[in-house]
Structure 1
């Protein structure tokens, strides 16, 4: 049975934000870039989501994607650097400030009361003259593991994929395929693992099969059911609910619009900030389908559509801050894999992004009943950092 579920995990940087958002977290001695930050990184995630969404299941981690791209961004120069900055919406942030902000974001998310683990790595072909500054900045700000391998050796691919397994709690088994292309100089990898228990779990005894109205027809799936007080939003076009994890700072937001395509047209960082102001405590009945799936996608086309095409151009790309012959180097592929499972106890999710670099041959609280039995939108949000960790649309939870 085909699935029709879309998920997006959006990276937000710990930087200045409007009055409609929570205050920026500023631990003593830590510098936080103020130029674009939270709003820009959330919008980058929404932009990427819009490029990849459709009527089929999608699962993304913009946190993973943006951190991997940020590592590569440190090696870019000229027009390539400009294009990557514009795609990530960080052109107003100094590179040093951006790196410091990303470091603080990683630390802050990993200090959550739920489990968030973020890891980065650089895998270099043996003998490639990588510039020391590029390696050092990725070790310093991204805590990247740096390894040099013989890419022609049969053990290279299993070694890299073992790192992927270890940093996704075995949810994702591999990201690199064998054999490695003879032109490949490096892989830049990011992995994100998330596990959060609901603050108030669903009772398994209340889970029962019911009908979900997918675009292709009705499907029968297990629905979790609960009557309780929730943070709830309703207007003429949608219902929305906030489901917290742990102590309540991290949460999944579920948006159930009358028309998901129309909802997508409204989906921006500004609209998200406005919606958040409208949630009020209300007692109601919630029926939510359980779901579990994985996804794999090359992101070259989506990132090109967002303005980063020069980085994939084997003639025009400029990564002269990465390797000695950087003007002859380009990104051959940005590949993404992700997994999520939502059940009565909470949520477990993981994602890996691989960047392959090659050498060119040149109103008052209402009473409500909310039965999530048609396509809906959801988010997992961290209140302390304002990071939107997951965002998605469920077309078919079966």
Structure 2
């Protein structure tokens, strides 16, 4: 491969990861991959190949979503898409199975793909991703700004977002498409021989490195008609602002959806928390830093209710209302120590949300080249919650190929001993990094 073919475009990073120590506590990582293949044997409209390389609780105003250089529209779009996608995933998955996804990771991977969409395919993707009314320039600039704001929000919290583009050396792509992935998404752009078995290893090694070993494989095999991978990786690590005392962790029953119970290690502590309760559920926010810039939210349906009923009210509009209802309050919380793996193919969910054309022979991705269509969107995650904090990872692969206040202070008690919904949220921007439901904790 003549490397001079690729000298016209170079890797251009808008921002480098901060040099914050990883620490020992907890890790959250997400990786999203967009894999593209060519439809038929048509040549792309450009000869340029891919590039190488303690009193009454008082209401607290939520942290503002809009901060310097941040566009709340892109955060709202990502969150709206996340709730819609989660709804489709949980409808198609077993009620006995833990679910955990990263809306941010999936949205960024698909946003990079969106840069190559045109015509009705672009319109369908915009509707699914909640990007209507936003220009491509606005979308890309907003994601670039959001990335900068999300990364490393506190000295005790590390959050990095990395993107990459891996191209088949035998395929041709529109140079503007490649350049935008670099300029706005700071993507590492590399050229590979997809016929060589080591190509998949190179991609998986990048994912492994950028999720700190939590996702070690996203590409099982490169198919003959696949020509491009777009990958996003998100990594988070930090400490609970108030760690759980391991001596207080004891065995307690956890009641499963089936009605049976299992003995499971449960962590517990008392303290001041942002707390919200209504007739349907209890909710608490556990911060990862003293200023509460990033938190782990738990939504526990009342014993008279369940997750299925909770899901009926889980949407973006209600989420925004709930976020304003949390008050500082003293309480006791008992939480299962858990970890889980999750693996899902998102094709059906995305089609149900309006992206069916993008998976068909009618797909129009002329912004990146001729005759491209998405063939598969896969998502893998890992999460572990323990006394020290949270460790999690996610990887998304998109393949494109052929064709209220109280009168007196009260001590709330929240015993998380049944299936619950949880979210990891950046409270500065309002961006939901991860969301999921735990129906059976595993240790």
Instruction: Give the Å deviation of 1:25.
Output: 3.6
Instruction: Give me the whole-angstrom Cα distance separating, in 1, the residues matched to 2:77 and 2:62.
Output: 13
Normalised to the residue count of structure 2, the TM-score between the two structures is 0.81
Instruction: Give the alignment of 1:73-222 within 5 angstroms.
Output: 73-113=114-154, 114-178=157-221, 180-216=222-258, 217-222=260-265
Structure 1 consecutive aligned stretches of length 4 or more whose deviation exceeds 6 Å: none
Quick check: 1:206–1:225 contact (8 Å CA) kept in 2?
yes
Higher relative contact order (CA 8 A, sep 6+): 2
2:274 aligns to what? Answer: 231
Taking a change above 3 Å as real, the CA distance of residues 24 and 235 of structure 1, as seen in their structure-2 partners, is closer
Q: CA RMSD in A?
A: 1.9
Instruction: Give me the whole-angstrom Cα distance separating, in 2, the residues matched to 1:245 and 1:120.
Output: 25
Taking a change above 3 Å as real, the CA distance of residues 81 and 21 of structure 1, as seen in their structure-2 partners, is farther
Q: Which whole-Å deviations, capped at 9, do the CAs of 1:48-102 have from their partners, x for residues lacking one? A: 0000114111121111100000000000000110000000011111110000000
Instruction: Give the Å deviation of 1:24.
Output: 4.3
Instruction: Give the Å deviation of 1:41.
Output: 2.2
Higher alpha-carbon Rg: 2
Instruction: Give the Å deviation of 1:293.
Output: 1.3
Gap runs ≥5 in structure 1: 1-6, 12-19
Quick check: 1:295–1:339 contact (8 Å CA) kept in 2?
yes
Quick check: 1:252–1:390 contact (8 Å CA) kept in 2?
no
Aligned residues: 372
Q: Find out whether 1:395 has 2:442 as its counterpart.
A: no
Q: Find out whether 1:379 has 2:379 as its counterpart.
A: no
Instruction: Give me the whole-angstrom Cα distance separating, in 2, the residues matched to 1:389 and 1:195.
Output: 13
Instruction: Give the Å deviation of 1:377.
Output: 1.5
Taking a change above 3 Å as real, the CA distance of residues 306 and 298 of structure 1, as seen in their structure-2 partners, is same
Instruction: Give the Å deviation of 1:235.
Output: 1.6
1:246 aligns to what? Answer: 289
Quick check: 1:33–1:97 contact (8 Å CA) kept in 2?
no
Instruction: Give me the whole-angstrom Cα distance separating, in 2, the residues matched to 1:50 and 1:395.
Output: 16
Question: Does the residue aligned with 1:142 lie in a helix, a strand or coil?
Answer: coil
Question: Does the residue aligned with 2:340 lie in a helix, a strand or coil?
Answer: strand
Gap runs ≥5 in structure 2: 1-27, 33-60
1:271 aligns to what? Answer: 318
Question: Does the residue aligned with 2:368 lie in a helix, a strand or coil?
Answer: coil
Question: Does the residue aligned with 1:396 lie in a helix, a strand or coil?
Answer: coil
Instruction: Give me the whole-angstrom Cα distance separating, in 1, the residues matched to 2:325 and 2:296.
Output: 16
Instruction: Give me the whole-angstrom Cα distance separating, in 2, the residues matched to 1:176 and 1:24.
Output: 35
Quick check: 1:199–1:244 contact (8 Å CA) kept in 2?
yes
Instruction: Give the Å deviation of 1:166.
Output: 0.3
Instruction: Give the Å deviation of 1:21.
Output: 6.2
Instruction: Give the Å deviation of 1:26.
Output: 4.2
Instruction: Give me the whole-angstrom Cα distance separating, in 2, the residues matched to 1:366 and 1:249.
Output: 26
Instruction: Give me the whole-angstrom Cα distance separating, in 1, the residues matched to 2:413 and 2:71.
Output: 43
Quick check: 2:100–2:434 contact (8 Å CA) kept in 1?
no
Question: Does the residue aligned with 1:229 lie in a helix, a strand or coil?
Answer: strand
Q: Find out whether 1:291 has 2:335 as its counterpart.
A: no
